[in-house]
């Protein structure tokens, strides 16, 4: 499969540009797609094309735009299995998870198709007679959307669908290693009847994207940046947007805590820790980082967790497995670095570490030429350890203990991330105290740190983001701006705060 950028409805290929091979991480000899990468000038040009198209798109009545979103959902639904198989082949996500990811696009479209009839403003009473006040939601303009590849189709839909619904145009830069999945989603969305230039897809590496985005911001052809990726890159994008007085939508990394109280259902907690710690090989922004377990429950929890991890199947993502390979060679190499953070006071309670090979197998599975890694549970992590403080994007989970709930909350907040969190308890008081004290944007009670629904706000604080939210009605504030209008039909100039009628009370009155 050969893939190039699409700008204004036409292929945008520079034959002199660099190429990238998107490989199947479960069988690295298999090339899924050959991707022709664009340069920064192409990205900036795409933004100017989108800017011109947006001026016509915003004139389309919002309910009609909603019908286009409905068509997107139906097209994805009709192609769900093929799209999910492509995701599995390209990034190694187990097929059941990939199919769930595709379903999330459909849910997102189903939610937002109705918002075309609910982009409500308000009529506000004026303090003066013969005068009316109104508010309107208006599109921001062009949204530059830059996404990671661990959720190559669902997360982009969180940006693209509401952005288009609100009357914006989009330039989308997906991850190179998930280019085939992204291109397939683009084709499905374009088939819904979008005018040329309203949705554009540009394949580029990081430096070219940065150069192109900076140029587009300078030219005034981008009014909103949406970014999902690492905290380090998010800081750079935030600084760049700040120089242009823009507030980006940043969804960044996480070091997501799970607190296990002494009254917790340990089997349920272990099930949640297994899924959130090792689903997608721990390569989610909401993956479990550290289990913070009460000292009285520590031994029992760890014993159950080790047993569950040992029984979990790792392997071919087309089969029934807990997780498959790392997403790409770059993530496998980075995971090797995380394993170097192990310290003498740590105890790896799950056995083997590193890449699964014939010399380092997992049972009878030898890795079969893919980027497969052993699941790792590290007991005895301490506040201040790199394994405790920093995101570890891969199949590794730390375990530490606490004595009281206040200590658990402090430990949960200490790394400075604030995306997702979880507490297992049967005590409502403890659940609500945890919710009030934790700095995460999302809190689960007796559920894992991973999981999102299309109508609930998704996003984090601190090192996990700038407080912006995706999904549900809350994301509309990212892709619209409020416009206020006053209409004075009194026939004379009425000055606010000055020509206001006053009714004088008798404040000295007493019974």
What confidence tier does 243 reach under pLDDT thresholds 50, 70, 90? very high
What confidence tier does 318 reach under pLDDT thresholds 50, 70, 90? very high
Predicted local confidence at residue 323, as pLDDT: 97
Q: Tell me the C-alpha distance between 111 and 120, whole Å.
A: 15
pLDDT in tens, 437-477: 999 999 999 999 988 888 899 999 999 999 999 988 999 99
Buried b (16+ CB within 10 A) or exposed e, 472-487: bebbbebbbeeeeeee
What confidence tier does 14 reach under pLDDT thresholds 50, 70, 90? confident
**pLDDT over 90 at 368, yes or no:** no
Q: Provide the whole-model pTM.
A: 0.95
pLDDT in tens, 198-213: 999 999 999 999 999 9
Q: How far is CA 3 from CA 38, 122, 181, in A?
A: 11, 46, 11
| Lowest-pLDDT choice from 41-45, 369-373, 394-398, 454-458 | 454-458
Sign of CA dihedral 19, 29, 320, 277: negative
**pLDDT over 90 at 497, yes or no:** no
**pLDDT over 80 at 13, yes or no:** no
Q: What is the mean pLDDT of the chain?
A: 96
The terminus-to-terminus CA distance of the chain in angstroms comes to: 88
Tally of CB atoms within 10 A around 208: 21
pLDDT in tens, 51-95: 999 999 999 999 999 999 999 999 999 999 999 999 999 999 999
Active site residues: 251
Predicted local confidence at residue 253, as pLDDT: 94
What confidence tier does 129 reach under pLDDT thresholds 50, 70, 90? very high
Q: What are the chain's domains?
A: 2-253+464-485 (3.40.605.10), 256-445 (3.40.309.10)
Predicted local confidence at residue 230, as pLDDT: 94
Q: What is the 3 state secondary structure string of 434-447?
A: HHHHCCCCEEEECC
Quickly list H helices, 166-284: 179-190, 206-219, 231-243, 266-278
Token pair of 493, please? 């100039």
What confidence tier does 500 reach under pLDDT thresholds 50, 70, 90? confident
Token pair of 484, please? 């206020």
What confidence tier does 502 reach under pLDDT thresholds 50, 70, 90? confident
Task: Summarize the confidence of residues 370-399 as an average pLDDT.
Answer: 97
| HSE of 283, CA atoms in CB hemisphere, 13 A | 26
Predicted local confidence at residue 240, as pLDDT: 96
């Amino acid at each position: 499969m050969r893939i190039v950028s699409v700008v204004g409805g036409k292929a945008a290929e520079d034959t002199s540009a660099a190429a990238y091979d998107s490989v199947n991480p479960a069988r690295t000899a298999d090339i899924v797609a050959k991707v022709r990468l664009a340069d920064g000038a192409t990205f900036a040009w795409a933004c100017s094309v989108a800017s011109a198209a947006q001026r016509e798109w915003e004139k389309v009545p919002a309910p009609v735009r909603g019908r286009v979103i409905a068509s997107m959902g139906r097209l994805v639904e009709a192609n769900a299995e093929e799209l999910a198989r492509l995701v599995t082949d390209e990034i190694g996500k187990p097929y059941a998870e990939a199919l769930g990811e595709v379903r999330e696009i459909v849910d997102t479209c189903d939610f937002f198709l109705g918002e075309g009839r609910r982009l409500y403003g308000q009529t506000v009473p004026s303090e003066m007679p013969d005068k009316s006040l109104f508010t309107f939601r208006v599109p921001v303009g062009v949204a530059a959307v830059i996404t990671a590849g661990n959720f190559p189709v669902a997360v982009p839909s969180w940006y693209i669908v509401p952005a288009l619904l609100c009357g914006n145009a989009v330039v989308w830069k997906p991850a190179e290693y998930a280019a085939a999945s992204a291109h397939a989603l683009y084709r499905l969305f374009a088939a819904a009847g979008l005018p040329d230039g309203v949705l554009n897809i540009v394949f580029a590496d990081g430096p070219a994207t940065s150069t192109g985005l900076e140029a587009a911001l300078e030219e005034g052809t981008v009014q909103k940046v949406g970014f999902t990726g690492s905290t380090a890159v998010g800081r750079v994008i935030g600084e760049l947007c700040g120089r242009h007085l823009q507030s980006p939508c940043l969804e960044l990394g996480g070091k997501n805590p799970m607190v296990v109280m002494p009254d917790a259902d340990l089997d349920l907690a272990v099930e949640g820790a297994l899924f959130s710690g090792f689903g997608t090989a721990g390569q989610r922004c909401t993956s479990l980082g550290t289990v913070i377990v009460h000292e009285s429950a520590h031994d029992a929890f760890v014993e159950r967790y080790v047993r569950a991890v040992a029984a979990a199947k790792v392997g071919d993502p087309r089969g029934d497995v807990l997780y498959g390979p790392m997403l790409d060679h770059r993530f496998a190499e980075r995971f090797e670095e995380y394993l170097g953070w192990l310290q003498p006071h740590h105890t790896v309670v799950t056995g083997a570490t590193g890449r699964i090979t014939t010399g380092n197998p997992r049972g009878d599975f030898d890795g079969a030429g893919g980027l497969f890694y052993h699941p790792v549970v590290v007991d005895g992590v301490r506040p201040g350890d790199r394994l405790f403080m920093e995101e570890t994007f891969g199949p590794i989970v730390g375990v530490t203990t606490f004595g009281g709930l206040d200590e658990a909350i402090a430990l949960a907040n200490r790394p400075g991330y604030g995306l997702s969190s979880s507490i297992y308890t049967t005590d409502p008081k403890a659940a609500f105290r945890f919710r009030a004290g934790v700095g995460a944007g999302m809190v689960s009670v007796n559920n894992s740190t991973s999981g999102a629904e299309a109508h609930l706000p998704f996003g984090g604080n601190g090192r996990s983001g700038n407080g912006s939210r995706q999904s549900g009605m809350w994301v509309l504030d990212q892709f619209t701006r409020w416009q206020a209008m006053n209409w004075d039909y009194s026939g004379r100039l009425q000055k606010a705060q000055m020509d206001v009628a006053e009714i004088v009370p008798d404040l000295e009155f007493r019974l």
